Amino acid sequence: MSITSFEFFVMVALLVLVYYALPLRYRWVALLVGNGIFWYKGNSKAALVIMLAMGIVTYVLARLLEEKREQKGAKELVTVGVTLLAACMIVCRDLGFFVGNINGLCNLCHIPFQMPDVTIPSPMGISYFALIWIGYLLDVYWGVAHAEKNALKFALFCGYFPFMTSGPIISFRDSGAQITAGHQFDYEQFCFGLQRILWGLMKKLIISQRLAAYVDLVYGSYNTLVGTYVLLAMVLFVLQLYTDFSGCIDIVLGVSQLFGITLPENFDLPFLSKNLSEFWRRWHITLGGWLRDYILYPILKSDLFQTIGKKSKKKFGKKFGKKVPMWIGLLISWFLIGFWHGGGWNYILGDGLYFGILIILGEMLEPFTDKVIEKLRIRTETFGYRLFQYVRTFVLFTIGLSFFRAYGGFMEGLRIWKSALFEFSPWIFFDGSLIGAGLDAKDWNIVIVFMAVLAISGIIRYYTGEQIRVLVARQPIVFRWLLYVALFASVIVFGCYGIGYDAQSFIYQQF
């Protein structure tokens, strides 16, 4: 069930009615029913069985960990749980990747062995819920969360239907109580929720869907559409991914707000980042937070990394040496980020290690770049310099994402770059060549207008520090409602629906 589908919104509307009709202490049951419908509609029977088995194991292990915390055997229990969940995620999603690599290696070494290509049913949202459940087990083990005793409330949290498609990656310690508690109806929050859903639909149905038409066309025929067509497709894919993913998160957060639940934000104006490090603190925030808390910190605090730190400080001096274990930890984290996005070298290299290496290089070269800036007397506090930093970050991100979009693999990414650099043809922007390339003139105009709306809203938020919804809520009633109606009408009139223009599934849903 897509979260942009009519049946999804009918289900949400019915759940809202039932939720607020029930007594406060039973309201969570309505959401649990929502979970059940969503799981049933989104999974094959086999996938559902796998998911339920994983859930039961997590529930039982968390209860045992709660009892055995700081006793003998607790470490073994949590290790078993985390390994099992991670293994299920990898086997269900990425078995083909390993089989392909092993077979490729055998071919290369002339070993007469080929593994059969086995596909295991993958439960919907396994990439998200596996991380959430691993975090839950670790939190219980570390004593910062209590294991949920009520199995049904546990089922509600661990399979909360809005986050099953594309996150955010929440934690039980921060969001568990909110999801399982009943909430009073709050008119303001309810309206903000509806507005956020509309905003998300605008991003997805008006902008992302149209950009997809151009991007898919060019990436599908990069042998004939070369040069600037491809460079433009790379840039537009970044905007497509942003409007798709953040639009999805807007819908998820908006739906949750209808039930009085506030989930953590996943985006914070990422394109206004001065460097890649800052960018990744503003893009897919909850994934970064999860990796920091459950991978990076434990690695860095381990005895091995502490020893590496001591040795590197002796060798390279305190300032530089203390960064060495951090950089190794970062490379491991970025490898995992790439792998999490999908079993494929295009993801591991293009969306993982590429960013890790650039961030580390940036830190390594910082003393040198600071000297250059000082020598050239560049005024770093000016708007011009900030703009340069924003553009530089965007370009570096676009290069990485060009491999991410090369669904055929890393080598296809290289072929696409060869095609992009084949010729420089900026005239396609002026001679009408772009009209008909996936989009007609009307569609291009719609994209440009709504991207401008999005950019202006982002700039307003950046300078005021407030959400647009909050600012709009302070406006006179007539103006306010004019904006709401305009947004609603825009989604209805300009949204891409129906046969032949079906809303594609969300890009991040596939992970």
Partner 1 sequence: MERAEIFAKLNEVFQDVFDDEDITVTEETTSADIEDWDSHEHINLIVAVEKCFGIKFNMGEVTTMKNVGAMVDLIAQRI
Tell me which residues touch partner 1 (CB under 8 A): 138-139, 141-145, 173, 292-293, 296-298, 300-301, 306, 309, 319, 322-323, 326
Nearer to partner 1, 301 or 480 (CB): 301
Give the residue among 390, 362, 510 at the shortest CA–CA distance from 458. 390
Nearer to partner 1, 94 or 139 (CB): 139
Nearer to partner 1, 78 or 255 (CB): 78
CB of 144 to partner 1, least distance (A): 3
CB of 264 to partner 1, least distance (A): 14
CB of 508 to partner 1, least distance (A): 23
3-state secondary structure of 283: strand
CB of 336 to partner 1, least distance (A): 15
CA distances from 16 to 26, 177, 185 (A): 13, 19, 10
Tokens 């560049």 belong to which residue? 378
Q: What CA–CA distance (Å, rounded) separates 289 from 168?
A: 11
Nearer to partner 1, 322 or 392 (CB): 322
Nearer to partner 1, 125 or 309 (CB): 309
CB of 131 to partner 1, least distance (A): 15
Report whether 195 contacts 468 (CB < 8 A).
Answer: no
Tokens 């040795």 belong to which residue? 311
Report whether 413 contacts 406 (CB < 8 A).
Answer: yes
CB of 331 to partner 1, least distance (A): 13
Classify burial at 268, counting beta carbons within 10 Å of its beta carbon; exposed 0-12, middle 13-18, buried 19 or more.
middle
CB of 204 to partner 1, least distance (A): 31
Nearer to partner 1, 7 or 76 (CB): 76
If you ran DSSP here, which 8-state letter would residue 267 be given?
B
What would the two tokens of residue 2 be? 């897509």
CB of 319 to partner 1, least distance (A): 7
Helices 151-158, 45-68: axis angle to 10 degrees equals: 120
CB of 293 to partner 1, least distance (A): 4
Nearer to partner 1, 319 or 377 (CB): 319
What would the two tokens of residue 241 be? 């991914």
Nearer to partner 1, 307 or 510 (CB): 307
Nearer to partner 1, 362 or 409 (CB): 362
Q: What CA–CA distance (Å, rounded) separates 333 from 298?
A: 11
Amino acid present at 270: P
Sequence-separated (6 or more) residues with CB below 8 Å from residue 62: 81, 136, 137, 140, 147, 148, 154
CA distances from 244 to 38, 247, 329, 351 (A): 21, 5, 30, 17
Give the residue among 200, 317, 338 at the shortest CA–CA distance from 263. 200
Q: What CA–CA distance (Å, rounded) separates 487 from 497?
A: 16
Please compute Rg for the chain using Cα positions: 24
CB of 306 to partner 1, least distance (A): 6
Nearer to partner 1, 367 or 432 (CB): 367
Amino acid present at 465: G
